[in-house]
Amino acid sequence: MPITLPNLLTLIRIGLIPVLIVAFYWLPQPWTGPVCCLVFTLAGVTDALDGYLARRMGQSSSFGAFLDPVADKLMVAVALVLLVEADPRPLITLSAAIIIGREITVSALREWMAELGMRGVVAVSALGKFKTIAQMVAIGVMLFRIDIWPWPIVGIGVYDTGVGVLLAAATLTLWSMASYLRAAWPRLNGVA
């Protein structure tokens, strides 16, 4: 199977995971935060580009459809684990657990519904996309850490702004998971 440009971008996103880990642990301050944010943002850009290019260039593939969400979930999970290690407060840990737990639950639900020929019941929704944007912004801002103008806003620095967005993302995550479970509930309950 030849590697297409969209699949190459997805593989680059996976390759950025160890780069993020190395930057997080071994870059000297004050470079750690900005470089980690840049790596994470670059991964987000490849995520936006790979799907767009696959559709535009007519290069959608089963391999890409499988690998793209795996790459996304791996990058987000690793970034959240790094953030929890750096700041193990219960609120950060709980938010990370909610986000990672939801990804596992919804992935399993989608796989199960696909086996039943009903994957469309749990297709990606607008709420799911909004949740993803909130997660990406929160994680990127929390990785950045350094206050820049116009922060601090009313005494709230860059990192704390990211924490607030992470809490909002965790709330959206629960809401979106409930929405998917509600849509699949008749099959889960053995009714339909």
Stronger pLDDT, 13 or 63, i.e. the higher one:
13
Query: Residue holding tokens 């970034």?
Result: 79
Q: Are 40 and 52 members of one domain?
A: yes
The DSSP-derived string for 37-95 is HHHHHHHHHHHHHHHHHHHHTT---HHHHHHHHHHHHHHHHHHHHHHHHH---HHHHHH
Same structural domain, 10 and 68: yes
Segment 102-124 shows an average pLDDT of 80
Q: Give the tens place of pLDDT for each residue, 134-168.
A: 999 999 999 998 887 666 666 678 899 999 999 99
pLDDT in the model for residue 110:
83
Please indicate, yes or no, whether residues 71 and 157 belong to a single structural domain of this protein: no
Q: Is there a single domain that holds both residue 101 and residue 159?
A: yes
Higher pLDDT, 192 or 120: 120
Write down the pLDDT at residue 112.
Answer: 82
Same domain flag for 152 and 136: yes
Of 55-59, 62-66, 94-98, 114-118, which range is least confident? 114-118
Host domain of residue 164: 88-186
User: Is 66 in the same domain as 93?
Assistant: no
181 and 96 both lie in a single domain: yes
Summarised one tens digit per residue, pLDDT across range 180-191 is: 888 888 877 775
Instruction: Name the domain boundary from 86, 103, 132.
Output: 86
Mark whether 100 and 28 lie in a shared domain: no
Q: What's residue 61's pLDDT?
A: 86
Please indicate, yes or no, if residue 191 is contained in any of the structural domains: no
167 lies in the same domain as 180:
yes
Residue 83: closest CA among 9, 2, 169: 169
Whether 139 maps to a domain, the answer reads: yes
Nearest in space to 176 (alpha carbons), one of 111, 109, 115: 109
Confidence of residue 97 (pLDDT cuts 50, 70, 90): very high
Q: Which of 20, 1, 11, 120 is nearest to 62 (CA)?
A: 1
For residue 163, the model assigns a pLDDT of 96
Strand partners, 153: 156
Token pair for 110: 């989608």
Where among 41, 66, 86 does a domain terminate? 86
Note the pTM of the prediction, 2 decimals.
0.90
Angle at alpha carbon of residue 29, lines to 26 and 30, rounded to 5°: 135
Report yes or no on 192 lying in a domain. no
Mean pLDDT of the chain: 89
Q: How far apart are CA 164 and CA 158, in angstroms?
A: 10
